[in-house]
Amino acid sequence: MSDKNLIIQKIPETLEKNYMPYAMSVIVSRAIPEIDGFKPSHRKLLYTMYKMGLLTGNRTKSANVVGQTMKLNPHGDMAIYETLVRLTRGNGALLHPYIDSKGNMGRQYSRDMQFAAPRYTEVRLEKICEELFRDMDKNAVDFVDNYDSTMKEPTLLPATFPTVLVNANQGIAVGMASNLCSFNLKEVCEATIAYIKDENVDLLEYIKAPDFSTGGALIYNEKTMREIYETGRGSFRVRAKYNYDKKNSCIEIYEIPYTTTTEAIIDAIAGLVKNGRIKDITDVRDETDLDGLKITLDIRKSADADAIMNRLYKLTPLEDSFSCNFNILINGTPRVMGIRSILKEWVTFRINCIKRQTQFDIEKKEAKLHLLLGLRKILLDIDKAIAIIRNTENDEQVIPNLMEGFGIDKLQAEFIAEIKLRNLNREYILDRVGEVETLQKEIADLKDIYASEKRIRQIIIKQLGEVAKKYAQPRRTEIICETSIEEITQEHMVEDYNLKLFLTEQNYIKKIPLVSLRSNPEQKLKEDDVIIQELETHNKAELLLFSNRRTVYKMRIYDIPDCKASSLGEYLTNLLQLEEDERIIYMTATDDYSGWMLFSFENGKCAKITLESYATKTNRRKLANAYSDLSPLIDIRYLAEDTDLVAYSSINKVLVFSTASINPKTTRDSQGVQVLKSKKGSRMCAVKTLEESGIKNPDYYRTKSIPAIGCYLRAEDFEDRQIRIDCT
């Protein structure tokens, strides 16, 4: 292509010329709702049904409505039908549906349930639509030409209540979007009445919170809700509602958040079960029927239904958030407004509607009054009127002659001339003329209404009261205070079960559920490795691991992966990032840091340290100086309560003592107190429980107070292999 054929276009100019008209068209004429609560597609559809007589008549095929709507809406028939479906009672998307439907219209809460074709379904307008079209024929709103100028359509619907707040509406335009939640009709009407009386009213006292057609439970935070009411932006959470059937061990979910679907929820739950993140659910299925939505979860009989649901709220769309963006077109300009501003604009809109219809009534009545005043003039001489008509030779002269004979204008003369001969009796004329006074009073009253905004506001209040009385329904979405909701932490999402921990000499730890251990008790270890400690506990306990470097490592047991007896387990050197030659020598698990740790040293001292000393508010996972280093450590053990222990010296001296005689310390590296006295340079070389020692007469070795030297080991106890102590 030669340079001569190149056309240079400046991007800003091209955007302004091509893109901006499209963007404005989408914003103004398609995606953003207006103050009457409708997008153009909704308005065209409902107005078409209104003109078809479907407000009072029988249902008609949806295909018929779609076809008629295409005279106003040039989009495809399926786009029009999808709009119709969302407005129906059968679909359930709206808190107050505008269309009464027969046939399958799909469901708001279902992603996969398809609506039937328009040739199979039938529709008509709901009774509440009377409020949308009231006084429309009295010039309450402007009308414009349709796309081919063959018909007229309204620019807005003169709704007598704030539909924009009553039904949810969502739209995505170009560069902006709109997302309006629905509110309870009665609450909205009462709030609007209160606002008309006092613009500074606290709207939160009347409109408690959003209300959705799918129900659910809204988690209420007053600060957040006030922000949404004032700014039109913000988000709140809605969660599903459920029942627990104890007899059949199943959870029945019967209401879900407006923003999700049953399929999305079931897929999420099934994924959690498949991945092993929730083990107490044995089956999940959709049991939705003609009675309504129901998702059933079969759970184990021993499971806690509330705990399962709390985890599902955190991990699935059973709890979802609704992001508010109250973006509404006001006189062709998109504005994000809070509820107070919306009500202000709506009241202004309704005042204008009532003024226009009042002016229409005034003009109609004045025209009628004008004719009757002419009729009253001929009442004085009916015979004269008849004579004028009879004596007029040409038809076109009848009107001028009447005008001249009675001093009336052309309209009055034509009205008199058109009166039937049978009505030229005195009674008829007196009856008609008697309306003059009534009309004059009505016109005066209408003019007073037109000139008085106070009276117009009273009319709006009266209409709102009537709407609330006729169409109010109880709240569907329950309000639950945020403070009453248990905060779902990582720990809540972890399943708790009984397990056994195995610690090996070569720094391996194995976490095996008891269920798995029963089926396969054979332990696989590395060559030359041995198990040095076994500990039975549960998955939500906290684990303390003491190393030979006087360090204690803390971790949640659920952070350690489950394994089978046939595997080696987790290598603690990597898991805890241990130093070179550092080994874990002891482990204990706790839920509340009750009890003590007892450290026994070669110098005969024992330090009894409260386990609370290892608890930290900052969730530190590594604590130095876990125990004293003044003498080599020969034994470490956890004490849930005081007990009797047996201390052994290197010269076969034995002492039975009670840990109750050792005062507990809070300093982790405390040296402790002397328990076993040294003799001839002896050292303490072991500490065991009475059961471990196998001593047949412990009272022989028992002392009333510590420290003590102890007694030499008796031959009968020495010969017992269970107590042979390596003190070399």
Residue 688 DSSP class: E
Beta bridge partners of residue 320, listed in sequence order:
238
- What residues contact residue 422 under an 8 Å CB cut-off, 6+ apart? none
Q: Of 372, 396, 398, 397, nearest to 385 (Cα)?
A: 398
- Here the tokens at position 461 are 């209040």
Beta strands, E only, 12-73: 60-61
Q: How many helices (H) and strands (E) does the chain have?
A: 22, 33
Q: Of these residues, 22, 50, 98, 120, which one is catalytic?
A: 120
**Residue 565 DSSP class:** T
Please give the DSSP secondary-structure letter assigned to residue 43. Answer: H
CB 121 within 8 A of CB 115: yes
For residues 509 and 260, give the distance between their C-alpha atoms in angstroms, rounded to a whole number.
43
> Both tokens of residue 326?
């109250």
Q: Burial, 572: exposed, middle or buried (Cβ in 10 Å; 0-12, 13-18, 19+)?
A: buried
Cβ(372)–Cβ(436) below 8 Å: yes
Of the CA atoms within 13 Å of residue 550, those in its CB half-sphere come to: 14
203, 191 Cβ separation under 8 angstroms: yes
Say whether 38 sits in a helix, a strand or coil.
Answer: coil
Q: What is the DSSP letter of 702?
A: B
Tell me the three state secondary structure of residue 132: helix
The answer to whether the beta carbons of residues 44 and 72 sit under 8 Å apart is: yes
716 to 85, 522, 654, 687: CA distances (angstroms): 93, 35, 13, 19
Q: What is the DSSP letter of 583?
A: -
Bond from prior residue into 707 cis (ω within 30 degrees of 0): yes
For the question of residue 120 being annotated catalytic, the response is yes
Q: What is the DSSP letter of 446?
A: H
- Residue 210 and residue 221 in contact, taking contact as beta carbons nearer than 8 Å: no
Nearest to 582 by CA among 550, 555, 544, 539: 550
Tell me which amino acid residue 498 is: N
Q: Which two tokens stand for residue 293?
A: 């939505």
Amino acid symbol at 179: N
List CB contacts of 356: < 8 A, sequence separation 6 or more: 138, 139, 140, 141
| Token pair in block for residue 566 | 């046939």
Half-sphere exposure in the Cβ direction for 478 (13 Å, CA): 11
Residue 308 host element (H or E) = helix 305-315
- In 10 A of CB 574, how many CB atoms? 9
Contact assessment for residue 641 and residue 596, using Cβ atoms and an 8 Å cutoff = no
Strand partners, 511: 501
Amino acid at 465: G
Q: Which two tokens stand for residue 646?
A: 């047996």
**Residue appearing with tokens 């959705």:** 212
**Backbone phi and psi for residue 538, each to the nearest 5 degrees, phi listed first:** -135, 170
Amino acid present at 200:
N
Which residues are annotated as catalytic?
120
